[in-house]
Amino acid sequence: MKILFIGDVAARSGRDALAQYLPTVKAECEPDVIIVNGENAAHGIGINDKICKEFFDLGVDVITLGNHSWDQREVIPYIEREKKLIRPLNYPAGTPGNGWVVHTLPNGQKILVINAMGQLFMDPLDNPFNAIDVLLKTYKLNEKVNAIFVDFHAEATSEKMALAHYLDGRVSAVVGTHTHIPTADAQIFPQGTAFQSDAGMTGDYNSVIGMKKDTPIMRFSRKISFERLSPAEGDGTMCGTLIETDNNTGLAKSIRPIRRGPRLQNA
């Protein structure tokens, strides 16, 4: 199974880059399933039903979220209806939506997609290690599902690597989101789980993680700012990761970064 995962889509620039580059990457790589993190898609914070529908129309199968899941209020009733829009699994019980979904491919194969959020330097949530453990008691790799993909939305690379090692051999891939910078550590762990600390941002890289530069520079340099952060509006770059799994085991055979756009080296 070929799994194409696209990292945090940031605002209009990211949405335009996704629309521009995803069709070409689909034609080149022929993925069986496309997963997109869309938690920054609406003006840099959150997502709404209109944008979700745009993504699904592009051929996206599952949309994951993160710490900005609820920044657009209209998403709350939508996420209750749309099962292929998922928020972090380790939100408290009673939170709208679900943290996972089983997506069935046209050939009958099934992939479990899990979204989880880290604890270090993030909002205080339930333990993601325990939350995934509970879910994997029901969905074991290569039994009920043919592949398992985890989008781990976290700040600390140590926590991302720890979770991936913890899940090594039990899931197909763990790929990080949230930091908006693609990392160069794509690899397959000893027991067969693919890993990359962060897939990177889909958006304008002539920015500070997708935001116009002046305000964050003022905040860091002078410790003052009278303006809110606003999304950068230049040409966007699409960043993601392509993972191929073994149909006999569900474990990873390969992982490689995907980058298309004007600022980063294409891959």
Active-site residue, selected from the candidate residues 68, 153, 178, 180:
68
- Give exposure, 143-170, as e/b (b: 16+ Cβ within 10 Å): eebbbbbbbbbbbbeebbbebbeebbeb
* Measured distance CA(22)–CA(24) in Å, rounded: 5
Chain-centre distance of CA 1, in angstroms?
A: 18
Burial bucket for residue 102 (CB in 10 Å: 0-12, 13-18, 19+): middle
Residue 178 is among the residues annotated as catalytic for this protein: no
d(C-alpha 267, C-alpha 81), whole Å: 36
Is 233 buried (19+), middle (13-18) or exposed (0-12) by CB count in 10 A?
A: middle
SS3 187: strand
> Known catalytic residues?
68
